[in-house]
């Protein structure tokens, strides 16, 4: 379902090589916008939209034409990217024209010509093929102080009648307008996201929404996806003549999706035969479901080919089964078809892979980029030990399952789908549901190490990590498809962040391929001079392994919430055998930090011959609101301090 | 007659192309193909290339083509990606006779019956790069995927060819063939096909008729490593060149090119009054030869250097009255030029002032090392000047903005160059820049509080190449961007959670003087508190190579862009009431081309550490890797040393 982008570096390279000649025919609207005084901005604002305008005209037959105008003033050298606008199009969206101009700070005017435009295939790089194309332009004369104008018009034949206007982006907007011309018999519904609702001015059937001084969306580490923050206006158009292509509720959207996928789950004889092989009736029902899920997850290769409506509509299950490849919706379709053969119902869930883009407040809008499945569990007992079960008042126990992810076991869903919203599409239509989030103790890293410290500061360690849930999935992402040599390198880089002269002696991973079991990683290492000799003292950092510090920058004001992947519980227990003749002299304070979103504690125990460091890091929420960001700062400060703390050993004599 | 086309596009096929001789059938599937389970010596590898063939045929009149054949066995799920194929089709070329199939582990075959998708990779202004994309059906680990096709070249053109001998997959067997074009070439007398190669000693191309052949077996994959020399100089490959008599031998070729450059450069420089006048004005009353030459150098660097400005379209050049300079006089009259224009202008002025000055063509080593046997003039792609000063030849780089007198930008050091002269040229190696020409000096004055937090001021002085590189980067942004770049760099040197803010920067636009910046910094939890003790790391800065050499295995040499040095003096004032219990001993580490020293002094309540790191080499062989790794481990060890102070309040867990 993804739409695309290409390697823009190649395109830029080609654009730079293009010969250009131009006589500017700068339009009045650009001149007019360019003359307005620019407000004062922070010194890291690269450019500003003086005007961002979108004008949509819908004809009575549903044909839709949208014209875009953008006027951008370049404020910094880093803003010169405004010289390279891009516009996507495809067979359903004809690009009527695409023009660009610039007015330099010295008043020189330029117009981009035909030769300044290149075209390339769209997509995001992972697809085999998509029919989206992109036109990219190089506008001459763009420097700091230049005002750039771009205008293009698209003639659209939309599958669904809506305009999704993103008026807030990485640069500020001084003036934004959305203009809508609808035939008299048509109606519309406007929904605002992440912005105060504003009524339009209406004149002769034309509605105009105008906004001013829209702040930019800033880059902040671990912030939600920009679309989960940016102001948007979603306008849906309705007409009796185009019924079924507009939706006023998620239920309507579900009806449209049902129509789109009708018949796609019809099985072929070969598919039915495979079901009999994989899940014979003699097997317990839950095992049959698991076997089919496993087949869709691992034996149908991910490969995306998206043409026209194929961006939304899956291929028939029989085709995907025969090819043994398909994209997310194809894999979901094959699994749904197979489950139906054993009498188990399942439902599509379109979803977006970035949490926060859809929420309970999101009006019906077609912006999903992924499809997973809700499997109706026939018995309540099946849900035991499965955190990804959604209890539906009518449909019962729905196990959410993502056949595209090859490392997340049956019963769980990937981190980015937890605490996210997806559209459950059933026979009755659709409803936006909140997908379950797993408890911290289901996503664990339990790391234990037996360490032997020598008087010269060297250390020998035997480490075991047991990973469950999301932490196991992350471990498998990193480890599963690596060669033995590359696994060593991964661990060497991990150890290298925490110690200097070390040697990784052995590495062993258990259950790498068996995703239903915990992932266990064991390794042994030796490190010279891990502890520092200081006269009669030996200084030891008890936190030998692991870094829990987040990416929060407390030196800058924070605007947005802080996101964690999923709740997690991670414990470290490191037991040191002390060198002969040394005893513990002083230890740092225990750490303790408790917040609504997370807990952290550590302690160091002296057992006489041993030093035992243990800590627990627990994340309880997926997101911390911006107004609580100082608590995140305090939380990480405690961790930083604890991770740098040293214990002091002293020679007995 | 054919036209040579200076576009190397075969490399685009590096990971997706193979040829199959004159045959148009599949190779037999052997039992070994079916039985192979893993890559020798590399268990867990995602796939293995069983066969690769690239067969170039320039001999057929108006039907030049290349046949490609590739057979890959998928070994793991990750290897499934090799079932997705995208063939790059360069402008004017056409893919013919494309066939593809999957072979199941049991030997059953499934032909690709679909039609490949035509992707527009880039299209515009009369050119079109297309791609043919398809995916093979029914692929699982254990499957073999294979495909073959013929790439027809555009009529009457001969592209440069390259055999891609090393791939991202281990290759069991590969065959290469090229049949040369034997007709006349436009602009070349006595045409012929020559090659240059980077190959292991065990494989060599063999001449066969009017072309060459090569067979290789068990070729390991190419896997780049951090801090390795330019990858392009390490991937096994064979490049081909068509040309005239000048391609008989590398000696002849470089002499021929030297002659051409000499004619071109001398015509550009000439003996012009503008250069004489400019030289006279720049020198003024100076009489000392070095002062005179420095004055000319400074004058050349005053010329607006367009190389460091953004590219301009023809229309922009017209509106800004920017014209190509045809000679030195135009450079001086107009006051602008690209880096080579400026270098030549400097030479012209130096000659006018009585110096013996020559132009030197030099190989930029940032992307690829010079290969004498690769007969391409583009290898010597940049220009510097050589001037005789007080009986000594000095190399100067006036065309590089911010490059001080006597320094070459690193990409032009330790690399092959040609002194351009009448009758040809002479290849030589430019000298390396020693560590004292790229120095970062950091002086810190800071204090600790009772909780171990540090705050203070750092003065950083960037000298030589370190200043040039930062100034060039700064030229791409504005004042705010420059400050941010510096702050981000300093934060990377400091422990996690640190903040750094620029207080002052001196000499951004300078050339001869160092670049200086002062920062205020805070580092929370810098020192750790244990009971009554305060444990203080004596070095504030983390080594820049901290995470570089952690893996034990190494295939390729270690390579630094330039030799460098760090000299740090860190003064940390401890809180009142603390007294030193132990201070670390001096720490040293050495390599033949590197030194590290670190020692600490106590000055009342102040801890003063002196740290020096000098790496006076840029290239360390793979068999020296363990020494390099050990050296930087020693550096890390020295940098992590701590001093212990006593006397604070109780912050400790109670102990026995």
B464 CA to centre of own chain? 20
How many angstroms away from the CA of B338 is the closest CA of chain A?
17
Partner-chain residue, chosen from B119, B313, B636, that has the shortest CB–CB distance to A140: B313
List chain B residues with CB under 8 Å of A484.
42-44
C-alpha–C-alpha distance, residues B286 and B301, integer Å: 18
| B188 — pLDDT class (breaks 50, 70, 90) | low
Contact B117 A128 (CB under 8 A): yes
pLDDT at A572 over 60: yes
Residue closest to A433 by CA, chosen among A365, A362, A503: A362
Q: Tell me what percent of chain B is helix, strand and coil, each rounded to the nearest 5.
A: 25, 40, 40
Cα distance from N-terminal residue to C-terminal residue, chain A = 71
pLDDT at B501 over 80: yes
pLDDT at B10 over 70: no
Contact A22 B653 (CB under 8 A): no
Partner-chain residue, chosen from B43, B140, B525, that has the shortest CB–CB distance to A640: B525
Beta strands B533-537 and B528-530, pairing class = antiparallel
Interface mutation vs chain A, best among B37, B38, B117, B497, most A CBs within 10 Å: B497
| B190 — pLDDT class (breaks 50, 70, 90) | low
C-alpha–C-alpha distance, residues A505 and A525, integer Å: 5
Per-residue exposure over B123-134, b if at least 16 CB sit within 10 Å of its own CB, e if not = bbbeebbbbbbb
Work out the average pLDDT over A376-402.
95
pLDDT at B313: 87
Partner-chain residue, chosen from B117, B531, B636, that has the shortest CB–CB distance to A129: B117
Residue pair B656/A578 in contact by the 8 Å Cβ criterion? no
Work out the average pLDDT over A323-337.
97
C-alpha–C-alpha distance, residues B565 and B543, integer Å: 12
Check CB contact of B137 with chain A, cutoff 8 Å.
yes
- SS3 of A164-201: the string is EEECCCCCCEEEEEEEEECCCCCEEEEEEECCCCCCCE
* Residue located via tokens 């004017």: B92
Q: Which helix (H) or strand (E) holds B656?
A: none
Radius of gyration in angstroms for the set of CA atoms belonging to chain B, rounded to a whole number:
30
Q: Centre a 10 Å sphere on the Cβ of residue A600 and count the other Cβ atoms it contains.
A: 21
The A residues from 469 to 508 touching B (CB cutoff 8 Å) are 480-489, 492-493, 495-497, 500-504
C-alpha–C-alpha distance, residues A233 and A652, integer Å: 73
List chain A residues with CB under 8 Å of B310.
80, 143
How many angstroms away from the CA of B613 is the closest CA of chain A?
17
pLDDT at B191: 58
The distance between the two most distant Cα atoms of chain B, rounded to a whole number of Å, is: 94
Q: What is the pLDDT of residues B595-628, one digit of tens each?
A: 999 999 998 889 999 999 999 999 999 999 999 9
| A11 — pLDDT class (breaks 50, 70, 90) | very low
Residue closest to A261 by CA, chosen among A330, A158, A341, A321: A330
Phi and psi dihedrals of A93, rounded to 5? -130, 100
**pLDDT above 90 as % of chain B:** 78
Residue pair A313/A371 in contact by the 8 Å Cβ criterion? no
pLDDT at A241: 81
pLDDT at B457 over 80: yes
Residues facing residue B69 across a β-bridge: B53, B148
pLDDT at A18 over 50: no
Beta-carbon contacts of residue B580 (< 8 Å; ≥ 6 apart): B602, B607, B643, B644, B645, B646
Contact B637 A504 (CB under 8 A): no
Q: Centre a 10 Å sphere on the Cβ of residue B251 and count the other Cβ atoms it contains.
A: 11
How many angstroms away from the CA of A256 is the closest CA of chain B?
29
ipTM of the complex: 0.89
How many angstroms away from the CA of A571 is the closest CA of chain B?
21
Residue pair A362/A356 in contact by the 8 Å Cβ criterion? no
Radius of gyration in angstroms for the set of CA atoms belonging to chain A, rounded to a whole number:
29
pLDDT at B354 over 70: yes
Work out the average pLDDT over B622-636.
94
Residue pair B47/B172 in contact by the 8 Å Cβ criterion? no
Work out the average pLDDT over A547-558.
90
What count of CB pairs under 8 Å joins A to B?
248
Q: Per the structure block, which two tokens stand in for A82?
A: 């405004």
Partner-chain residue, chosen from B83, B122, B316, that has the shortest CB–CB distance to A11: B122
Least confident of A88-92, A93-97, B61-65: B61-65
pLDDT at B1: 44
Tell me the torsion sign for CA atoms A306, A309, A313, A318: negative
Interface mutation vs chain B, best among A95, A484, A588, A638, most B CBs within 10 Å: A588
SS3 of residue A545 by DSSP: coil
Work out the average pLDDT over B415-441.
94
Q: What is the pLDDT of residues B277-298, one digit of tens each?
A: 999 999 999 999 999 999 999 9
Q: Where are the alpha helices (DSSP H) in A370-413?
A: none
pLDDT at B187 over 70: no
CA distances from A507 to A184, A450, A601 (A): 72, 15, 29
pLDDT at B649: 61
A519 CA to centre of own chain? 24
Question: Angle at Cα B637 formed by Cα B633 and Cα B638, nearest 5°?
Answer: 120
Work out the average pLDDT over A465-479.
95
Partner-chain residue, chosen from A76, A120, A645, that has the shortest CB–CB distance to B122: A120
Q: Determine the residue of chain A that is closest to B635 in CA distance.
A: A500
Phi and psi dihedrals of A380, rounded to 5? -60, -35
C-alpha–C-alpha distance, residues B436 and B463, integer Å: 8
Phi and psi dihedrals of B331, rounded to 5? -60, -45
Check CB contact of B476 with chain A, cutoff 8 Å.
yes
**pLDDT above 70 as % of chain B:** 94
Q: Per the structure block, which two tokens stand in for B648?
A: 């604070």
Q: What is the pLDDT of residues A20-63, one digit of tens each?
A: 434 468 999 999 999 988 899 999 999 999 999 999 999 998 88
Residues facing residue A164 across a β-bridge: A234
C-alpha–C-alpha distance, residues B16 and B69, integer Å: 9
List chain A residues with CB under 8 Å of B313.
18-22, 110, 138, 140-141
List chain A residues with CB under 8 Å of B501.
555
Check CB contact of A584 with chain B, cutoff 8 Å.
yes
| B7 — pLDDT class (breaks 50, 70, 90) | very low
Tell me the torsion sign for CA atoms A18, A24, A30, A36: positive
C-alpha–C-alpha distance, residues B338 and B331, integer Å: 9
- SS3 of B137-151: the string is CCCCCCCEEEEEEEE
Mean predicted lDDT score pLDDT of chain B? 91
Strands (E), B10-90: 47-57, 65-74, 84-89
C-alpha–C-alpha distance, residues A253 and A245, integer Å: 9
Contact A140 B636 (CB under 8 A): no
């Amino acid at each position: 379902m993804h739409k695309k982008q290409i390697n823009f570096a190649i395109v830029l390279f080609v654009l730079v090589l293009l010969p250009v000649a131009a006589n500017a025919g700068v339009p009045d609207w650009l001149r007019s916008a360019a003359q307005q005084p620019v407000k004062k901005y922070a010194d890291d604002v690269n450019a500003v939209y003086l005007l961002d305008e979108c004008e949509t005209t819908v004809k009575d037959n549903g044909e839709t034409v949208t014209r875009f105008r953008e006027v951008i003033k370049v404020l910094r050298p880093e803003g010169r990217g405004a010289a390279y606008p891009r516009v996507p199009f495809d067979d359903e969206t004809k690009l009527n024209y695409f023009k660009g101009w610039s007015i330099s700070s010295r008043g020189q005017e330029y117009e981009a010509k035909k030769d300044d435009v290149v075209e390339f295939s769209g997509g995001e790089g992972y697809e085999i093929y998509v029919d989206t194309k992109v036109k990219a332009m190089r506008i001459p004369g763009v420097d700091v102080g230049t005002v750039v104008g771009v205008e293009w018009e698209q003639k659209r034949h939309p599958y669904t009648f809506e305009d999704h206007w993103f008026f807030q982006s990485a640069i500020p907007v001084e003036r934004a307008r959305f203009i809508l011309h609808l035939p008299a018999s048509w109606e519309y519904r406007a929904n605002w996201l992440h912005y105060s609702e504003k009524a339009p001015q209406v004149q002769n059937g034309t509605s105009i929404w105008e906004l001013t001084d829209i702040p930019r969306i800033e880059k902040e580490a671990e912030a939600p996806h920009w679309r989960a923050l940016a102001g948007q206006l979603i306008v849906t158009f309705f007409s009796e003549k185009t019924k079924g292509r507009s939706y006023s509720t998620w239920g309507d959207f579900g009806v449209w999706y049902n129509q789109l996928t009708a018949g796609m789950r019809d099985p072929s004889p070969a598919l039915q035969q495979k079901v009999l092989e994989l899940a014979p009736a003699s097997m317990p029902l839950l095992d049959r479901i698991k076997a089919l899920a496993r087949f869709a997850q691992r034996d149908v290769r991910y490969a995306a080919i998206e043409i026209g409506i194929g961006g939304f509509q899956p291929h028939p299950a029989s085709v995907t089964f025969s090819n043994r490849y398909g994209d997310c919706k194809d894999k979901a379709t094959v699994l749904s078809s197979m489950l139906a053969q054993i009498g188990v119902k399942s439902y599509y869930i379109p979803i977006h892979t970035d949490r926060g883009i859809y929420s309970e407040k999101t009006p019906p809008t077609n912006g999903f980029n992924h499809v997973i499945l809700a499997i109706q569990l026939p018995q309540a007992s099946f849900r035991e030990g499965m955190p990804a079960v959604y209890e539906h008042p009518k449909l019962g126990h729905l196990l959410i399952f993502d056949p595209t992810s090859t490392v997340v076991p049956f019963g769980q869903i990937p981190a980015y789908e937890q605490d996210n919203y997806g559209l459950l599409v059933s026979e009755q239509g659709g409803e936006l549901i909140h997908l379950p989030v797993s408890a911290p103790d289901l996503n664990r890293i339990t790391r234990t190490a037996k360490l032997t410290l020598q008087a010269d500061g060297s250390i020998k360690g035997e480490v075991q990590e047991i990973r469950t849930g999301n932490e196991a999935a992350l471990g498998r992402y990193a480890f599963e498809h690596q060669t033995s040599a590359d696994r060593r390198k991964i661990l060497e880089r991990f150890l290298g962040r925490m110690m200097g002269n070390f040697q990784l002696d052995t590495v062993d991973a258990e259950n790498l391929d068996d995703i239903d079991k915990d992932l266990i990683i064991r390794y042994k290492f030796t490190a010279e001079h891990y502890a520092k000799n200081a006269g009669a003292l030996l200084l030891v950092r008890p936190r030998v392994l692991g870094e829990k510090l987040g990416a929060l920058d407390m030196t800058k004001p924070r605007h947005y919430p802080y996101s964690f992947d999923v709740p997690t519980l991670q414990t470290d227990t490191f037991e040191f055998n002390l060198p002969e003749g040394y005893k513990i002299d002083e230890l740092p304070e225990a750490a303790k930090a408790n917040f609504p979103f997370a807990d952290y504690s550590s302690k160091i125990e002296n057992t006489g011959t041993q030093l035992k460091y243990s800590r627990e890091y627990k994340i309880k929420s997926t997101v911390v609101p911006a107004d609580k960001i100082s608590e995140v700062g305090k939380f990480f400060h405690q961790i930083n301090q604890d991770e740098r703390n040293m214990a002091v050993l002293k020679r007995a004599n | 007659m054919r036209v040579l086309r200076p576009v190397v596009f075969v490399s685009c096929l590096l990971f997706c192309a193979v040829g199959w001789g004159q045959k148009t059938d599949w190779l037999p599937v052997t039992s070994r193909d079916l039985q192979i389970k893993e890559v020798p010596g590399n268990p867990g590898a995602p796939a293995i290339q069983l066969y690769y063939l690239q067969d170039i045929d320039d001999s057929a009149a108006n039907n030049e083509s290349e046949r490609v054949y590739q057979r890959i066995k998928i070994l793991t799920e990750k290897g499934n990606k090799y079932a997705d194929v995208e063939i790059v089709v360069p402008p004017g070329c056409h893919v013919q006779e494309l066939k593809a199939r999957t072979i199941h582990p049991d030997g059953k075959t499934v032909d690709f019956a679909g039609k490949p998708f035509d992707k527009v990779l880039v299209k515009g202004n009369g050119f079109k790069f297309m791609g043919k994309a398809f995916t093979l059906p029914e692929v699982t680990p254990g499957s073999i995927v294979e495909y073959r096709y013929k790439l027809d070249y555009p009529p009457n053109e001969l592209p440069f060819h390259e055999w891609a001998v090393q791939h991202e997959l281990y290759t069991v067997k590969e065959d290469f063939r090229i049949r040369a074009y034997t007709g006349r070439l436009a602009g070349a007398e006595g045409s012929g096909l020559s090659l240059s190669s980077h190959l292991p000693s065990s494989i060599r191309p063999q001449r066969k008729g009017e072309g060459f052949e090569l067979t290789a077996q068990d070729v390991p994959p190419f896997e780049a490593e951090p801090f390795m020399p330019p990858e392009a100089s390490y991937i096994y490959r064979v490049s081909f060149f068509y040309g005239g008599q000048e391609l008989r031998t590398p000696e002849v070729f470089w002499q021929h090119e030297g002659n051409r450059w000499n004619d071109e450069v001398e015509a550009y420089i000439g003996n012009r009054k503008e250069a004489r006048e400019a030289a006279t004005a720049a020198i003024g009353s100076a009489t000392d030869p070095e002062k005179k030459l420095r004055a000319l150098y400074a004058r050349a660097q005053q010329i607006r250097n367009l190389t460091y400005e953004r590219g301009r379209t023809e229309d922009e050049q017209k509106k800004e009255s920017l014209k190509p300079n045809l000679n030195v006089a135009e450079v001086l009259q107009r006051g602008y030029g690209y880096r080579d224009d400026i270098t030549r202008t400097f030479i012209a002025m130096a000659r006018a002032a009585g110096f013996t000055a020559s132009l030197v063509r030099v190989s930029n080593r940032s992307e690829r090392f010079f290969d004498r046997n690769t007969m391409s003039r583009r290898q010597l792609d940049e220009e510097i000047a050589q001037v005789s000063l007080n009986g000594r030849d000095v190399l100067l780089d006036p065309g590089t903005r911010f490059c001080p007198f006597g320094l070459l930008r690193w990409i032009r050091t330790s690399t092959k160059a040609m002194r351009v002269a009448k009758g040809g040229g002479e290849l030589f190696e430019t000298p390396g820049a020693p560590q004292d020409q790229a120095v970062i000096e950091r002086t810190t004055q800071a204090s600790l509080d009772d909780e171990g937090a540090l705050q203070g001021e750092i003065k950083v002085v960037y000298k030589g190449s370190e200043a040039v590189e930062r100034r060039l980067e700064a030229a791409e942004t504005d004042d705010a961007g420059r400050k941010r770049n510096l702050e981000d760099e300093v934060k990377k040197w400091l422990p996690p959670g640190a903040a750094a803010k620029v207080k002052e920067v001196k000499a951004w636009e300078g050339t001869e003087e160092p670049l200086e910046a002062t920062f205020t910094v805070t580092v929370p939890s810098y020192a750790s508190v244990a009971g009554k003790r305060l444990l203080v790391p004596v070095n504030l800065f983390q080594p820049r190579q901290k995470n570089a050499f952690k893996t034990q295995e190494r295939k390729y040499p270690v390579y630094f862009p330039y030799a460098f040095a760090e000299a740090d003096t860190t003064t940390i004032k401890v809180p009142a009431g603390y007294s030193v219990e132990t201070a670390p001993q001096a720490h040293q580490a050495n390599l033949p081309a590197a030194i590290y020293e670190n020692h600490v002094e106590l000055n009342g309540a102040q801890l003063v550490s002196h740290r020096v790191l000098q790496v006076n080499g840029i290239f360390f062989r793979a068999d020296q890797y363990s020494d390099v790794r050990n050296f930087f481990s020693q550096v890390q060890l020295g940098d992590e040393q701590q001093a212990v102070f006593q006397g604070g309040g109780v912050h400790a867990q109670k102990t026995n």
